[in-house]
Structures are given as C-alpha cells and as structure tokens.
Structure 1
Amino acid sequence: MKALRKFCLYALSLLAFGQGRAQNEPKHLYVFKDRNYLCLRAVDLSDAAVLDSSQLVATYRYSYQKELWNPLRWSETEVVLQIGARWSKCFPAVLRQIDEQLTRTGDGSAGGRGVFSPRIGTVYENLAKHRLSSEHRYPFSDRLIRYDEPADTTVWRVGGEAVEVLGYACIPATATFRGREWTIWFAPDLPAAANLWLFRGVPGLILRAETAQFRFECTAIRPSREAILQLKANGRKLSRERWRSLERHYHEEPYRAFNNNDENAFFEDRFRLNGDNWTIEYNPIELE
C-alpha cells in the first residue's frame, strides 16, 4: 500500500503540473510500479441488483504464474464463491473491496480503482436456467463487458488418492477444460448447487484446483447470508469470442487500446509508456 500511495502522489503531482500546460496535455495520468498490472475502476453499488441471498460462502486463494519465463514467480489474490438458492456468484474479492469503498465515500479518487492483473472475471450462474454470465471490467474504463453461455457439464476422469482440505476428504478428478489440463479435488460431503469459477460436473464442492500456471485453494467455508449483487450494466453484451479478442488486443497493444485519443498517459515509475515500448504478456486462464 505504501508503494501504491507513492505512485498515486506522483501521479497527482504530474496532473497538477499538466493542468498549467497546453490544452493537448493528457487528462488522466496513470503510474504503475509494474506495467503488467492494469487499473480496473470501482463501480458504485447503489444501483446494483440483488439477485439472491447466499446460503454458503467459500473463499479461495487464487494463484497464477506472473510471467511465463519465470516459473518461480507467482501472484495471488482472493476469490469468493457465493451460493444461493437461485443464483451463485464467483468473483475476485478485490473488486468488492474497491466497490464498497467507493460506495461508502462517493469519491472515485478514494478507492475508486484497483490495480492488479485481471486474470479472472466475475461469473454469475442462474441455477434454475443453468446459464452462466461472465463479467469483465475493461481496464481504465467504466465499461462492463458481459457474455452468456450454458453451464455445460465437463466430463471429469475421477480417480486417484484422496486428500484432505479444511477437514473434508476430497476426491481428485482431471479434465481438459478451456484448453488447459486441470486437476480438481472435490468434497462429496459438500453437495453444492453451484461450484468454483466455471467448473461444473462433479457431485461436491471443489476445494482445490490446479493446472500448470493457475491454482485455487479453498481457505474457508461458512454458512452466510450475503447479498448476491449484480452490477448495473453500462456496456453492450459481447460474445465470449469477441471478449477474448479484445483481451488479446489490450495485452499486445495496450497503448493503442487505452490511450483514448491521447487523453490518457501511462508511466512505469517515471518512465513513460507508449506504443513502441509497452506490451503485456498474454497468458489467459482460458486458452480456447
């Protein structure tokens, strides 16, 4: 947090300096400690729809290999799974944190944005209709991008030595899912109407999941009544294929994707990023 405050203060100083300059100076300045960590804006929850109330909440440690060339360097964040009678929601906890802070303060500059690598979005499931809706925040923008798809059942190969997670005996299973070979461990003693992320098709809550460069590990399970909120849409619906094309584009050409007709300027520490020196390694959790 100290490093983030330092960069925010530096950005404000640049902004103050720019206000006294020519009209063609950028309106928004973004300063990163690491150019691979993008800015996702918070959303005011006052207009969010209450889809359901949770009955069970599971929290996971979500880890991913930060760089393909360095298998020892990993990043992690927290993912929350809310399961209700009619809806479920799986999302990075940092998004709820910045949204709640913005909603409390009403000030976009005080908790109005989160800086992290958006390797995973928010997934809603309509349990009656067996439909999934994935939601992504376009970096440096107020756009919310959603696409729908059926909650297809994956065919898992069950077998292997059981492990214990949080006191529950978990059975392993493997499958190729969205282009990656995943191993999961599910708890038959925890039957659930929904499950972690996009995984479906096993008779129990998944408490651990891993592939070569991504891992989920459940750290807590509790009965809890929490509002399952869906953010108010402010962007058009896209297909999953169109979103993945946009995602690749902003990794391969981030300056072109985000500079918004030169309204935005980007710095890594004090080094200005542009179309010639800025790319972001593209290593999505879904390969196909």
Structure 2
Amino acid sequence: MRSLVFLLLLGVAFTSNAQTEKVLEPAVLECHYELSALRDTLSRSNIGRDLMILRVGKSISQFFSYHAYTSDSLLATSGGAEKFGNSFIDALTKGDKSTLPGVKTTSDYIYKNYPKGRISLYCTDVALNYYRIVEDYTPQAWEVKDSTREVLGYKCQMATCNYRGRSYVAWFASDIPVSDGPWKLAGLPGLILEAYDVQHHYHYTAVKLLQAGLRPVALYNTDRKYEKTDRITYLRLMSDYLFGRRNSLEDGSAALGLDIKVAASPTSKGKVKQYDFMERDYR
C-alpha cells in the first residue's frame, strides 16, 4: 500500500519536461566511489549501497549519487513518472529490491566552495520537499599518519579526524594534487580515495578516476523551489521521519494538496531505528 501511495505522489510531483541545469565551471577530474551505508547496527548484513560521483572543477566541486541523478533525469522527462512506476512495480513483483529505481542512499547534491568559502547542499526530504542549506566551508582538522596502503593503484597515506559526532579514517593520494574527497571530506594534500568512520557505518571506496571527456560542474533541477533552512533544523526534521515521529506519506500528500491518511502498521509503529546520519551533532 505504501509503495502505491508513493508512486501516486511521484506522478503528481514530477511534471516538468526536462531536467534543468546551470553550468558553474568545467570539470578537471571525476572520481567515482562505491558507498556502503549500514542500515541497522543490529544487523551487519543490512547495508545500503550506492555509486557516488565527485566532480571537481578549478574552484568548485560537486558530490552526488549517480542513482539519484538518473532518477531525477528520468522523472523530469515526459512519461518519466510512469516509466519509474512501472520499473518500481516490476522490481517488487520479482522480489528483487536491488533493482528498485530511485534513491539508494541519499538524494543530496553537495557543492564545496559554492558560493565562495561556503558549502551548499540541495536536499529532498522523504516527503518530497526541497531544501537548500548553506554552511561555512571549513575542511576537517586532519592528523596525518605514517601508515600507507594502495587504493585504485595509487599509494595512499592515512589521516584521521573527528567531525560532527564521528571519527573518520581517510586514505589520500599525494600523486593526485586535489584537496578534496567524498561527501564533505576535504583539506588533505591529495585526493581522498577511501574514507570511513571507525564504526564502519559509512564507507567510501574509489572505483574509477576520470580526467577527460567530463561533464561540467553544474547545478541540477534549478527550476525547483528550494526552501532555505539550516543543517541542524534539516537533520532534526529527517530524524523525525527516521524515528517515526512524522509520517512522510501524509506530509507528502499534504504538500501536494491531497488528503491521504496512512495508518501505522502494528509491527512498525514506534520502532526505533538502530542507525543514524553521518552528522550526529544535531541531537
């Protein structure tokens, strides 16, 4: 039932004919990362997987999920919502959740040094509301270690830091003189090719590096109306959905002018999730 309601919301919410785009600057490097995100600390086999893209320009970089981008592109085309829905139902019918279209782990688009000296996040909550968050761009306070390892054929050096409630380990390649990395991680004398928190709830591993034939660093979905908010407020809102204090389907239907009520199932009502966001300083 929830899946069918979700498809109804998609069909109403996505009505544009093309995904709008604003080019910011040419890209000079693109790194693809495999992301594994633990969904439940009580079940180590419950892992969300995604393919993330870091696209780096001369002064600005963008980071986003390949699956979120392709879903946005599909849903913005004529008949895209119907194609999306058919693929969704087909995957459910076959019982193969790995083929479900849509967002795998995150719908966030992160821009470092845009505007200058800031980080911009373009986010979509689970009720299909859009938000823009701008915060100061302050690289992590890394401590470089002596340990080395090879990642994607490059010799990498270890670095550690504490950042917004988690302790991280990063492996950066000095041979790639780009002070950037996955997600919001940056500030080392070389590209971060692998990074994870010490609890291994979130783990990024580089799988491909491209330096030619690149698409530009760009803003996507520029026709959407983004509500400005701050990071802590947004994380608290998402926490309410995560822990069942708000109902995403009812909120989404209300935003679209619909009156859809979804009763909580006896097995899920009040259920506490055993995982949290990468940033845990909102609590």
Q: Decide: shared fold, TM above 0.5.
A: yes
1:246-272 Cα shifts (integer Å, max 9, x gaps): 111111226534313573466xxxxx6
Which residue of structure 2 lines up, in the alignment, with residue 259 of structure 1?
A: 250
Which residue of structure 2 lines up, in the alignment, with residue 245 of structure 1?
A: 236
Which residue of structure 2 lines up, in the alignment, with residue 30 of structure 1?
A: 6
1:147-174 Cα shifts (integer Å, max 9, x gaps): 1112102111111321011111000011
Count of residues paired in the alignment:
250
Structure 1 residue runs of 4+, over 6 Å off? none
CA offset at residue 192 of structure 1?
1.1
Query: Take 1:286 and 1:159, find their aligned partners in 2: how far apart are those partners?
Result: 24
Whether 1:187 and 2:178 are equivalent positions in the alignment is no
Give 2:215's aligned amino acid: E
Matching residue within 118, 122, 141 for 1:135: 122
Q: Is the 8 A contact 1:42 1:99 kept in 2?
A: no
Which residue of structure 2 lines up, in the alignment, with residue 151 of structure 1?
A: 137
Give 1:201's aligned amino acid: G
Give 2:279's aligned amino acid: E
CA offset at residue 199 of structure 1?
0.9
Q: Secondary structure at the match of 1:46?
A: coil
Q: 1:67 to 1:30 in 2, by over 3 A?
A: same
Matching residue within 206, 222, 225 for 2:210: 222
Which residue of structure 2 lines up, in the alignment, with residue 124 of structure 1?
A: 111
Query: Take 1:88 and 1:263, find their aligned partners in 2: how far apart are those partners?
Result: 40
Query: Take 2:208 and 2:22, find their aligned partners in 1: how far apart are those partners?
Result: 26
* TM-score between the two structures when normalised by the length of structure 1: 0.76
How large is the Cα RMSD of the aligned pairs? 2.9
Which residue of structure 1 lines up, in the alignment, with residue 189 of structure 2?
A: 203
Whether 1:283 and 2:276 are equivalent positions in the alignment is yes
Q: Is the 8 A contact 2:48 2:105 kept in 1?
A: no
Q: 1:77 to 1:228 in 2, by over 3 A?
A: same
Identity of aligned residues (%): 21
CA offset at residue 106 of structure 1?
4.7
Which residue of structure 1 lines up, in the alignment, with residue 159 of structure 2?
A: 173
- Structure 1: which 5+ residue stretches go unaligned? 1-6, 12-28, 32-38, 267-271
1:43-77 Cα shifts (integer Å, max 9, x gaps): 95532222222121100000011212112432211
Give 1:283's aligned amino acid: D
Q: 1:42 to 1:190 in 2, by over 3 A?
A: farther
Q: 1:79 to 1:119 in 2, by over 3 A?
A: same
Moved more, 173-182 or 48-57: 48-57
Which residue of structure 1 lines up, in the alignment, with residue 53 of structure 2?
A: 80
Query: Take 2:59 and 2:230, find their aligned partners in 1: how far apart are those partners?
Result: 24
Give 1:30's aligned amino acid: F
CA offset at residue 140 of structure 1?
3.5
Query: Take 1:119 and 1:48, find their aligned partners in 2: how far apart are those partners?
Result: 20
Q: Secondary structure at the match of 2:206?
A: strand
- Structure 2: which 5+ residue stretches go unaligned? 89-100
